[in-house]
């Protein structure tokens, strides 16, 4: 009985260590800068999770705040899939009075 308890404890500790190591892996999130519009640019960060496991509904991201406003950048499932496969993706941000274009490429050469 004690031996089983000890073995169960060892397995729990090892499993917990593996989970901690997985969560401590470095992030490969990528930040991209927009085109210049209205004398300013914005950055948007696309998470590695987004291109590794794209949502069928797509994903939206907020840009950095510049000139006291932010933009929304929305990527479709197809765009995220293309990005993960090494293709360049161009997307415009949304805002009523002006927009910015982001050129996204993960495997820059």
Give the single-character DSSP code of 106.
Answer: S
Q: For 107, list phi and psi in degrees, rounded to 5.
A: -100, 70
Q: Which residue has the tokens 């470095």?
A: 26
Token digits of residue 56: 């069928």
Q: Average pLDDT per run of 10 along the chain, which is 109 residues long?
A: 57 49 69 94 95 94 94 96 95 88 83
- Position 17 scores a pLDDT of 43
pLDDT tens, 1-15? 565 665 655 555 555
């Amino acid at each position: 009985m004690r031996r089983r308890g000890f073995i169960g404890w060892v397995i729990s500790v090892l499993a917990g260590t593996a989970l901690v190591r997985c969560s401590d892996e470095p992030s490969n999130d990528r930040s991209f800068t927009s085109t210049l519009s209205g004398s300013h640019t914005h950055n948007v960060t696309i998470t590695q999770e987004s291109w590794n496991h794209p949502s069928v509904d797509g994903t939206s991201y907020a840009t950095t705040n510049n000139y006291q406003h932010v933009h929304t950048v929305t990527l479709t499932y197809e765009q995220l899939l293309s990005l993960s496969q090494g293709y360049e993706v161009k997307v415009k941000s949304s805002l009523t009075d002006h927009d910015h274009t982001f050129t996204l490429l993960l495997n820059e050469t």
